[in-house]
């Protein structure tokens, strides 16, 4: 048996959904599979499905529906008329850089006397600060327009007033109970704002301000808006979907000097650019500026009209990104060692391992601790907080990432007496505290996680859009899936499940057989499936009559030929009846052998254990499957690692153990 790596959650479906899908399929001439996916994405009739697939700029909402937009426009126009000096105040991440760049382009077009300011991440931290206000006064600034920041800056706005500086705030973060008393506070998430779409990025709010100022949507800058929208993980729904669709088209035309240079540095073909290209290639390079140097370098790239300047700037950002990758890689290795040491310590003391990973070290770059936290979460699937510690003051700056079901913001609120400052939401947060409180924080968060989470919450979830048949995976149908792009947050690439499909062929491919390639269905004309990092499953799939698979459908192009393909994420094989059911002593014998080696290659392991323990190979495979489910061992990229401090769990808590035992007993039960 090969058990699912994740919990499969299939989206619900009912009779009315089937009827809606049939109407959409007929009216819009799309395949039944695509029509069912449209219904799953919330398109309940032909009109909403048509807007989803083909919506254009006519579907943009009126910017003046946003609270204070009229006041913001009036104040900026007044500054233009009077020749006041205006300063754009942004943020150092990709959304803040995009927002700043967009207003630079807008204010240039309007002929304002302006400049821009982005705080230094390490020296100043996030948001408005008093020293920046004082510098603005020294430079003769009388109006500051914020982008992607400012909604919580009540005190800073009051200080600016004393200095003779007025403010227009544009932001998209959650408003506090007391918002700044500025000339205008433009944020669709204000409780008193009737704007119909709340999911705009900071650059999306700046785009609405630009629309109001120019009296038209400035689609010539949709590429800049797309960058921030995708990088800030905003849902690709409603207006965001339209913006990104126009932005990708604009990018593919290669008209913006900065993006053209950035694409060359990143090795991206602009003609084939997707939202994924932006998220994983462009955005990290833009973010690298603010993480390791200063974000103004990224603004200069996006706003320059000189190709020579753009090439130099893009090369610099690419170099910073490589340095960022090196720093992250080293920090992850150090974090792994710290976590393993904690596990060994817990085991030696006879304690359970902490339920939340809380680690930190002096010298860790606080600009990348969020990335490190994300990587540790992917590796261990536990809530994670990574701290950079100031060796002189003992103060710690932390970045946290969480698993589904554990609300970080609520947990930090329950520990607020230990924290100097914190903020965030369910999945991600930031905080600061003194290192003397780290142990107490780890203990309290672990207690909360154990209290709030059920056993199944510790297993990652795979959300499945729908079940399809092998016959539906035609080239025409898969090609139509491109109509549903752009994919991203709020509109992920569809995941389908195919049940009980035969395996016609299988082979391990890539270096050291790291990946697995399957042919599902018929040997000729079957569906190719590629499973990255699952090469070790080849030996365990032999003899499987049929499997259940989950993955994303795509078109594979090779030497000019186009074929349907499934990028396989997970699979499941029902257990066959074992040659004999192993005793608990045999489980213990295998486990003790594994404990002695600690780490071992998967390749050939079953055969070695079979010979050493005098057991049939299928019995050894079954024992290892149970150990994986109980987290006694972990198999990753062909390596078996014995857990340093496994929890105390009985074999009977394994669903694999129980189901196989029942099958064995049923087959070998004495006839009545």
196 and 70 in one domain?
yes
Domain tally, the chain: 4
606 and 552 in one domain?
no
630 and 564 in one domain?
no
Mean pLDDT to the nearest integer, 250-268: 94
Provide the 10 A C-beta neighbour count for residue 344. 13
Cis peptide before 486, with omega less than 30 degrees from 0?
yes
User: Residue 281: which residues within 8 A CB-CB, separation 6 or more?
Assistant: 266, 267, 268
> Three-state DSSP class for 52?
helix
The CATH number that applies at residue 644 is 1.10.10
Q: Which two tokens stand for residue 135?
A: 């510098």
The string of pLDDT tens digits covering residues 486-528 is: 999 989 999 999 998 888 888 889 888 889 999 998 767 789 9
- Give the domain-ending residue among 402, 433, 452: 452
- What's the CA gap between 5 and 458, in Å, rounded? 12
Between the two ends of the chain, the Cα-to-Cα distance in Å is: 29
The CATH number that applies at residue 407 is 3.10.310.30
The phi, psi pair for 654, rounded to 5°, reads -85, 125
Cα angle 489-494-495, degrees, rounded to a multiple of 5:
115
The predicted pLDDT at position 1 comes to 65
The predicted pLDDT at position 589 comes to 92
User: Residue 267: which residues within 8 A CB-CB, separation 6 or more?
Assistant: 281
Q: Is 370 inside any structural domain?
A: yes
445 and 409 in one domain?
yes
The string of pLDDT tens digits covering residues 571-628 is: 988 766 667 889 999 999 999 999 888 888 876 788 889 888 988 877 888 898 888 8
Q: Is 294 inside any structural domain?
A: yes
Its domain, for residue 142, covers: 63-302
- Comparing 205-214, 269-278, 370-379, 654-663, which segment has the lowest mean pLDDT? 654-663
371 and 297 in one domain?
no
Mean pLDDT to the nearest integer, 302-311: 95
Confidence of residue 654 (pLDDT cuts 50, 70, 90): confident
Q: Which two tokens stand for residue 564?
A: 């349907």
Locate tokens 């500086």: which residue?
Answer: 165
Q: Which two tokens stand for residue 419?
A: 């924290």
The CATH number that applies at residue 488 is 2.40.50.460
Q: Mean pLDDT for the chain?
A: 91
Mean pLDDT to the nearest integer, 93-117: 97
What is the distance of C-alpha 351 from the center of its chain?
33
The predicted pLDDT at position 672 comes to 47
The predicted pLDDT at position 637 comes to 63
The string of pLDDT tens digits covering residues 326-357 is: 999 999 999 999 999 999 898 888 888 899 99
261 and 147 in one domain?
yes
**β-strand partners of 399:** 386, 430
Mean pLDDT to the nearest integer, 540-566: 85
pTM, two decimals, is 0.82
Q: Is 535 inside any structural domain?
A: yes
The predicted pLDDT at position 2 comes to 78
- Give the domain-ending residue among 529, 550, 572: 572
Burial 591-603, CB ≥16 within 10 A → b, else e? beebeeeeebebb
Q: Supply the DSSP string of 172-223, one letter for each residue.
A: -SPP-SS----SEEE-TTSTT---S-----HHHHHHHHHHHHHTS--GGGHH
Burial of 556 per CB tally in 10 Å (0-12, 13-18, 19+): middle
- What's the CA gap between 348 and 241, in Å, rounded? 53
The predicted pLDDT at position 497 comes to 94
- Do 207 and 99 touch, CB atoms closer than 8 A? no
- What's the CA gap between 21 and 327, in Å, rounded? 49
Q: Is 559 inside any structural domain?
A: yes
Please report, to the nearest 10 degrees, the dihedral formed by the alpha carbons of residues 324, 225, 235, 378 taken in order: -10
**β-strand partners of 641:** 599, 634
602 and 561 in one domain?
no
491 and 382 in one domain?
no
Please report, to the nearest 10 degrees, the dihedral formed by the alpha carbons of residues 590, 592, 595, 600 taken in order: -30
Q: Which two tokens stand for residue 453?
A: 């989470």
How is residue 84 annotated by DSSP? -
Confidence of residue 635 (pLDDT cuts 50, 70, 90): confident
The phi, psi pair for 443, rounded to 5°, reads -65, -45
Q: For residue 64, is pLDDT > 90?
A: yes
- What's the CA gap between 423 and 578, in Å, rounded? 53
Burial 405-430, CB ≥16 within 10 A → b, else e? ebbbbebbeebeebbeebebeebbbb
The phi, psi pair for 314, rounded to 5°, reads -65, -40
Q: Is 366 inside any structural domain?
A: yes
- Give the domain-ending residue among 431, 452, 473: 452
- Do 160 and 167 touch, CB atoms closer than 8 A? yes
The predicted pLDDT at position 98 comes to 98
Locate tokens 């790596």: which residue?
Answer: 5
Provide the 10 A C-beta neighbour count for residue 147. 32
Q: What Å distances lie between residue 107 and 76, 103, 113, 140, 214, CA to CA?
A: 10, 6, 8, 18, 10
How is residue 451 annotated by DSSP? H
Q: Is 407 inside any structural domain?
A: yes
126 and 170 in one domain?
yes
Mean pLDDT to the nearest integer, 163-185: 95
The phi, psi pair for 141, rounded to 5°, reads -75, 135
477 and 444 in one domain?
no
Q: Which two tokens stand for residue 669?
A: 């039960």
Q: For residue 670, is pLDDT > 60?
A: no
Q: Is 513 inside any structural domain?
A: yes
425 and 495 in one domain?
no
119 and 67 in one domain?
yes
Burial 616-626, CB ≥16 within 10 A → b, else e? eebbbbbbbbb
Q: Is 318 inside any structural domain?
A: no
How many residues appear in the chain? 672
**β-strand partners of 595:** none
């Amino acid at each position: 048996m090969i058990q699912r790596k994740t919990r499969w959650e299939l989206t619900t479906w009912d009779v009315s959904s089937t009827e809606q899908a049939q109407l959409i399929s007929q009216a819009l001439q799309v395949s039944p599979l695509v029509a069912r996916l449209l219904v799953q994405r919330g398109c309940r009739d032909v009109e909403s499905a048509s807007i989803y697939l083909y919506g254009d700029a006519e579907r943009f909402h009126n910017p003046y529906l946003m609270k204070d937009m009229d006041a913001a426009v009036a104040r900026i126009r007044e500054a233009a008329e009077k020749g006041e000096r205006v300063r754009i105040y942004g943020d150092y991440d990709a959304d803040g850089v995009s927002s700043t760049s967009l207003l630079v382009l807008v204010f240039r077009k309007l002929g304002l006397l302006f400049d821009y300011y982005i705080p230094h991440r390490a020296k100043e931290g996030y948001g408005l600060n008093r020293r920046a206000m004082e510098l603005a006064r020294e430079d003769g600034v009388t109006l500051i327009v914020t982008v992607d920041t400012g909604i919580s800056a009540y005190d800073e706005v009051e200080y600016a007033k004393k200095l003779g500086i007025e403010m227009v705030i544009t932001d998209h973060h959650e408003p506090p109970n007391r918002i700044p008393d500025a000339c205008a506070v433009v944020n669709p998430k204000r409780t008193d704002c009737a704007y119909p779409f709340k999911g705009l990025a900071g650059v999306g709010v700046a785009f609405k301000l630009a629309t109001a100022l120019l009296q038209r949507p400035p689609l010539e800058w949709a590429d800049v808006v797309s960058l921030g929208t995708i990088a800030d993980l905003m849902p690709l729904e409603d207006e965001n979907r339209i913006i990104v669709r126009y932005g990708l088209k604009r990018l593919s035309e290669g008209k913006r000097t900065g993006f053209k240079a950035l694409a060359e540095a990143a090795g991206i073909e602009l003609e084939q650019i997707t939202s994924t290209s932006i998220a994983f290639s462009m955005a990290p390079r833009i973010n690298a500026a603010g993480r390791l140097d200063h974000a103004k370098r990224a603004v200069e790239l996006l706003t320059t009209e000189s190709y020579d300047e753009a090439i130099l700037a893009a090369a610099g950002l690419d170099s910073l990104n490589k340095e960022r990758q090196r720093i992250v890689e080293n920090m992850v290795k150090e974090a792994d060692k710290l976590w393993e040491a904690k596990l060994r310590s817990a085991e030696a003391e006879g304690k359970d391992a902490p339920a939340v990973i809380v680690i930190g070290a002096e010298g860790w770059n606080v600009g990348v601790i969020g990335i490190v936290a994300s990587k540790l979460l992917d590796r261990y699937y536990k809530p994670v907080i990574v701290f950079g510690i100031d060796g002189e003051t003992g103060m710690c700056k932390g970045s946290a990432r969480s698993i589904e079901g554990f609300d970080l913001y609520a947990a930090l609120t329950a520990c607020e007496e230990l924290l100097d400052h914190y903020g965030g939401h369910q999945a991600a947060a930031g905080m600061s505290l003194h290192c003397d409180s780290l142990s107490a924080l780890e203990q309290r968060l672990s207690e909360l996680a154990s209290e709030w989470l059920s056993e199944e919450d510790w297993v990652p979830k795979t959300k499945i859009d729908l079940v399809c048949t092998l016959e539906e995976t035609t080239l025409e149908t898969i090609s139509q899936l491109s109509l549903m792009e752009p994919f991203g947050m709020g509109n992920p690439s569809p995941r389908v499940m195919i049940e009980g499909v035969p395996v016609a062929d299988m082979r391990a491919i890539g270096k050291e057989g790291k990946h697995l390639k399957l042919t599902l269905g018929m040997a000729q004309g079957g569906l190719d499936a590629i499973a990255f990092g699952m090469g070790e499953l080849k030996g365990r799939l032999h003899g499987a009559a049929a499997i259940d698979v989950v993955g994303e459908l795509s078109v594979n192009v090779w030497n000019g030929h186009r074929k349907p393909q499934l990028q396989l994420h997970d699979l499941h094989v029902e257990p066959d009846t074992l040659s004999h059911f192993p005793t608990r002593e045999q489980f213990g014998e295998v486990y003790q052998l594994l404990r002695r080696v600690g780490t071992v290659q998967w390749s050939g392991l079953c055969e070695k254990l079979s010979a050493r323990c005098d057991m049939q190979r299928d019995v050894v495979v079954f024992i290892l499957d149970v150990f994986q489910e109980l987290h006694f061992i972990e198999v990753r990229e062909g390596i078996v690692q014995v857990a340093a401090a496994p929890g105390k769990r009985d074999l009977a808590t394994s669903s694999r153990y129980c189901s196989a035992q029942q099958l064995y007993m049923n087959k070998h039960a004495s006839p009545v």
